Structure 1
Amino acid sequence: MALATYNGARYLEPQLESLAGQTHLPAELVVGDDGSSDATIEILERFARVAPFPVRISQNPTNRGHGQNFLETASRCRGDWIAFCDQDDIWSTEKLKRFQHASIRRPQLDWMVCRNRYVDDRLRTMRRATLALSERGNWMPLTSPVRIHDGHRMIFRRWFVDLPWQRRPVSTDGRLITHDRWLSVIGYLFGHRHFLRDRLTLYRQHQGSVTMQAKAAERSVAVGHRLDARRDFFAERDRFWSAMEHWCLSLPMDSCAKDEASAATAARQCRQIAQFYRDRARVCDRTLDRQRRVSAYGVLVQRSGTYAAVFGQPPLIRDLFALMGTP
């Protein structure tokens, strides 16, 4: 398990207790602390003395940010399977056991994702109406390559972090993309995937959560009502997937992931997704004449089966409204 911490003393102990209570204990817990100034380190060291598995704690010399911290911490894990662990959640005691059973039944799997239950800071189940900032693209199919699966729901093979994640593309703010977005993409491009129906994590939502703040910022752009905001958002996604195409093609032949043919297939998938976003940006681009915008939408409709597999049906309707000039 890879646990990233930063000033997490308020919620950390219940999470550590849930890890120690797993019916299938992990081989290890590797912790990367990102410069906490509260009692986080003291709590971790106290837990390490009594934990029923080895605990290794590292303190970053400088603040890395949560995405970088997670990936660096995961790269120090030694087991064949790695699970991301947030400092403020609580795991079901059966979480690792369910993943283990799935991996035994399907030994070809590389990447698995469970479901979670959204709770507030007092662990009360949140109503659907209060989840606006927590949900990211839930209209998309689970298997969509552009759907971001929260890191705390994942478990993946060790070779995922042996790939050159240090060269992953940047996001709109100029920073390298987060660990969960990166692993979601790699899982789609290279992994044999499986989605568990079980809700195995209490996903705590509170204003101090780094991921909660990031989701709010991303959602404000992604569902912005102005056409120019949507156009810019799609253009950024086009650049990202184009960069991923080049990343796939630059993988060394001795890559621990896949062979040359698989890398070429992954690059082709990235190119197709980038084209979808390019067409969506054109639909929303009011600097283009109407004929070119209609043509871009017509291409999306002609490929509606593939389009729906990537985005789901609602975005196709929203793109139609964008074409009609609805802001």
Structure 2
Amino acid sequence: MNEKLISVAMCTYNGGKYLKEQLDSIINQTYKNIEIIICDDGSTDNTIEIIKTYSKKYSFIKLFQNETNLGFVKNFEKSISLCEGDYIALADQDDIWKVNKLEAFLCEIGDNLLIYSDAIIMDGEGTISNNELIRPKGNLVKGRCNKAFLFTNCVSGNTLMFKNELIKDILPIPEKITYHDIWIAFVASSLGTITFTQEALTYYRRYAEQITSTREKNYKSFIDRFQTKKASNLKSAKDIIDNLSIFETLEYLDKDIKLIIKESLIHFNDFSNSYFNYKLFKILKKYKDEVFAIKKDKKRLKYIRRISYGLKAHIISLFTI
């Protein structure tokens, strides 16, 4: 097993504050046959200095500096394209990995194209919580489960590793995809199977402003609340259209998922004018255990209704809450 090279694709941008902790956690992995490919997207802090110091000490760390800012999705595309390993694991610049992460992935990936884990949330100061990113509020999924990624995602990019053979199918990462991780998970679970480890193997750094934005709704007035909710719903609809339009182009999808995508696109392309799409509701209800596998059983019907609502129904709901 030690003959297998694992490439760690990392992207950096002004990450000097936490970068050393992350690099140390990767370097100190129990599995040693690794290379670390770092693509920097134009950092102006001490990020480059830190990486160069590490690369002088560790020859398996390779730095590539972008001439122009690519953005994090295209920067990950570049980093993945430079990997030479049998397996590729993605790394953010500010997390911390458990020491056995790569060894566990390699032992458990088996015939699957991709493996991932949950992540343990820590704050900006590195205080580790008892909360995981997905569980227990949601589920992790495995197998040939591409329907689960149509509207939601449980495969965070900083927690996954995939086989090199998947590169040809995921690159280039489509321009309009919302996030690289949902694209990788969808393709992997369409072409083959994915799996996960029961143990959460990444400490995910969540900042105070992220927590505040998800918990507090600081609306100045009802009009402010109305405009904010409307903008949020329209953006969500656009993101769904972008993702599904890209998924729809893949030739190897089965007829069931093609039907779900087709009817969903009809609905969301008319999202601004509609109240409720009963046809889509019936289709989603038929496949609810696959499409909403990431959601807990008791909440699946709620999400089916929410997806089937048009903008007008969402607006009306503001007056009934």
TM-score range, shorter chain: 0.7 to 0.9
Deviation, structure 1 residue 78 = 0.4
1:124 and 2:108 aligned: no
Task: Confirm or deny: 8 A CA contact 2:122 2:128 kept in the other structure.
Answer: yes
> How many Å apart are 1:275 and its aligned residue?
3.8
Q: Residue 41 of structure 1 is aligned with which of 48, 53, 59?
A: 48
Pairing partner for 1:145 from 135, 149, 170: 149
Give how far 1:180 is off: 1.4
Residues 1:275 and 1:312: Cα distance change in structure 2 (over 3 Å)? farther
2:160 alignment partner in structure 1 = 154
Count residues in correspondence. 284
Select which of 6, 10, 28 maps to 1:3: 10
Distance 2:191 2:76 in 1: 20
- Once the two structures are superposed, residues 129-172 of structure 1 have per-residue CA deviations (whole angstroms, 9 ceiling, x without a partner) of xx9xx76995465342233221110000112222363362514x
Match of residue 316, structure 1, among 287, 291, 301? 301
What's the offset of the Cα at 1:124? 1.1
**Inter-partner Cα distance in structure 2 for 1:274 and 1:112:** 25
In the other structure, the counterpart of 1:114 is 117
Give the equivalent residue in structure 2 for 1:76: 82
Distance of aligned partners of 1:64 and 1:136 in 2 relative to their CA distance in 1, 3 Å threshold: farther
Unaligned runs of 5+ in 1: 172-176, 217-223, 250-262
Q: CA deviation at 1:58?
A: 0.5
Kindly provide the amino acid, as one letter, of the partner of residue 301 in structure 1.
K
Alignment of 1:72-221 (within 5 A): 72-103=78-109, 106=110, 108-126=111-129, 139=138, 142-143=141-142, 144-146=148-150, 147-148=152-153, 149-163=155-169, 165-166=171-172, 168=174, 170-171=176-177, 177-206=178-207
Q: 1:83 to 1:300 in 2, by over 3 A?
A: closer
Matched residue, 1:257: none
Secondary structure of residue in 2 paired with 1:25: coil
| Aligned-partner Cα distance in 2 for 1:191–1:302 | 23
Instruction: Tell me if structure 1 keeps the 8 A contact 2:41–2:70.
Output: yes
Shift of 1:326: 2.9
Alpha-carbon distance between aligned partners in 1 of 2:198 and 2:48, rounded to the nearest angstrom: 34
In structure 2, distance between residues paired with 1:70 and 1:276: 32
CA deviation digits over 1:62-110, x for unaligned, max 9? 001111111111110101100001111111111111112113xx2x121
Q: What TM-score comes out, normalization by structure 2 length?
A: 0.74
Q: Percent identity?
A: 22
Aligned to 1:27: 34
Task: Return closer, same or farther for 1:239/1:305 CA change in 2, 3 Å cut-off.
Answer: same
1:56 deviates by: 1.1
CA distance in 1 between counterparts of 2:11 and 2:235 reads: 32
Q: CA deviation at 1:194?
A: 0.9
Match of 1:166, SS state, is coil
Residues 1:42 and 1:274: Cα distance change in structure 2 (over 3 Å):
same
Q: Would the aligned equivalents of 2:284 and 2:291 in 1 still touch at CA under 8 Å?
A: yes
Q: Whole-Å Cα distance in 2 between the matches of residues 194 and 317 of structure 1?
A: 27
Query: Is this contact kept in 1: 2:141–2:195, CA < 8 A?
Result: no
Q: Structure 2: where are the runs of 5+ without partners?
A: 1-7, 143-147, 215-226
* RMSD across aligned positions (CA): 3.5
**2-structure distance, mates of 1:319, 1:229:** 18
